[in-house]
Amino acid sequence: MSDRATVERLVKDFLSEHPVESTPDRELRAARFDAGLAFVHHEKGHGGLGLDSSLNGVVEQMFLDAGAKNWSGFNVIGLGMAAPTVYVHGTEEQRRKYLKALFTGEEIWCQLFSEPGAGSDLASLATRAVPDGDHYIVNGQKVWTSLGHVARRGLLVARTDPDLPKHRGLTYFIVDMKAPGVEVRPLRQITGQAEFNEVYFNDAAVPEADRLGAVGEGWRVSMTTLMNERVSIGRRRSRRGEGPISEAIKAFRAAAAAGTTDAATRDKLMSLWTRAEAARLTNVRAAAQAGVGTPGPEGSIAKLQFAELNKAILELCVDLQGTDGMLINDYTMAQPDHSTVSSPEADIRKTYLRSLANSIEGGTSEVMRNILGERVLGLPGEPRTDRDLPWKDVPRS
């Protein structure tokens, strides 16, 4: 029996013993973790079965088809970024402590990387973590923290040695977002919502036991997070014709029925549909090749095409609304409990506005092109005059 057939049988047997309609969601996910049907590529005992990671999509789709809750937007950082980082770089104790609570949704996670002066150039970050006995004392500011207001845990990269070059003086931590000295403030977006936040650390104590990876290895650990983030953003589980392109098709049909569309718009829609299908198939192949650890350049490819294509499709949706696409009536301030990257708004105009961030979050499209140019095509790298300078000697604005 093939691994896929084995997994399909295991899911069917599991669902017969734990019917989705009568099993509380968190109880269902806890049992799923214990059965190895959370992250099937993980070792047994850590939510997996030791199988190929491409089978994760098969398992997830089977549970969704059975009516299970889709957690991808509610713990997008935890499932897409924290889980692979903790699994690859964490100790056995850290894996036992965090992976199950993460998967069940008991603990929501956020990412504490970007700073006001360190966005695309993440390695220039200034947040400090100073050793103090069996703790580190953290001071600094992070920004654009998705779901920081509902998160219990955070992935933090901080500077532990300012005398080393910027990439080498960093260390990675897991942070309790409810600990003293951690303050979360909302950032209101163009949609009226506050999905993002800024986070301040004021003498926040982080236990040594929550350091992830070795001291000074923060950049290497963060690469695992970032590459998985790009795969997570770029790769959407969808079938042919699903996702944003389905909204464009519905909008075109409505406009056609009202007599407000034309052949040029139809051709544009078909071009976008073709691109969406090509992207979907590319992501299927990338998922089949992905293994445990840090993904390859396919993550940057997926993220780049997702950002540009998503904006183009949603722009067409707004254009098809005619003058109705120019005005949004409700800008009520709200802090959603889910990421609207993977859970579109009911109002397509807000979904379009939200999509404008796609080419910034998770690495700008310009950075993605640099990565692909340098690491895949072998083009000359950007000039980097501060590569070997101690961080403390690098001029800062």
The pLDDT score that the predictor gives to residue 236 is 56
Type of residue found at 116:
P
Whole-angstrom distance, CA of residue 80 vs CA of residue 90 = 16
What are 342-376's pLDDT values in tens digits?
555 678 888 899 899 888 887 788 888 988 898 88
Task: Give the whole-number percent of the chain exceeding pLDDT 90.
Answer: 64
User: Do 105 and 82 meet the contact criterion of CB atoms below 8 Å apart?
Assistant: no
The pLDDT score that the predictor gives to residue 268 is 97
The pLDDT score that the predictor gives to residue 44 is 95
The pLDDT score that the predictor gives to residue 395 is 83
Confidence of residue 237 (pLDDT cuts 50, 70, 90): low
Whole-angstrom distance, CA of residue 147 vs CA of residue 338 = 7
The secondary structure element, H or E, covering residue 139 is strand 135-143
pLDDT at 245 exceeding the cut of 90: yes
Q: Is 326 helix (H, G, I), strand (E, B) or coil?
A: helix
What are 286-312's pLDDT values in tens digits?
665 555 555 666 667 778 888 899 999
Average pLDDT over residues 138-163: 97
| Residue 65 C-alpha from the chain's centroid | 23
| Strand partners of residue 138 | 129, 204
Considering only residues 272 and 342, tell me which one the structure prediction assigns the higher pLDDT: 272
Closest by Cα among 216, 151, 162 to 184:
151
| Strand partners of residue 176 | 153
**Which residues are tagged catalytic?**
229
Closest by Cα among 227, 212, 189, 233 to 332:
189
Q: Which two tokens stand for residue 228?
A: 């998985």
pLDDT at 231 exceeding the cut of 90: no
What are 41-74's pLDDT values in tens digits?
999 999 999 998 888 889 999 999 999 999 988 9
| Strand partners of residue 171 | 158
Q: SS3 string of the chain?
A: CCHHHHHHHHHHHHHHHCCHHHCCHHHHHHHHHHCCCCCCCCCCCCCCCCCCCCHHHHHHHHHHHCCCCCCCCCCHHHHHHHHHHHHHHCCHHHHHHHHHHHHHCCCCEEEECCECCECCCHHHCCCEEEEECCEEEEEEEEECCCCCCCCCEEEEEEECCCCCECCCCEEEEEEECCCCCEEEEEECCCCCECCEEEEEEEEEEEEHHHECCCCCCHHHHHHHHHHHHHHHHHCCCCCCCCCHHHHHHHHHHHHHHCCCCCHHHHHHHHHHHHHHHHHHHHHHHHHHHCCCCCCCCHHHHHHHHHHHHHHHHHHHHHHCCHHHHHCCCCCCCECCCCCCCCCCCCCHHHHHHHHCCCCCCCCCHHHHHHHHHHHHCCCCCCCCCCCCCEHHHCCCC
The pLDDT score that the predictor gives to residue 289 is 55
Instruction: Write down the pTM of the prediction.
Output: 0.88
> What torsion do the CA atoms of 289, 290, 295, 299 make, to the nearest 10 degrees?
70
Q: What structural domains does the chain harbor?
A: 3-104 (1.10.540.10), 109-217 (2.40.110.10), 223-376 (1.20.140.10)
pLDDT at 232 exceeding the cut of 70: no
Average pLDDT, the chain: 90
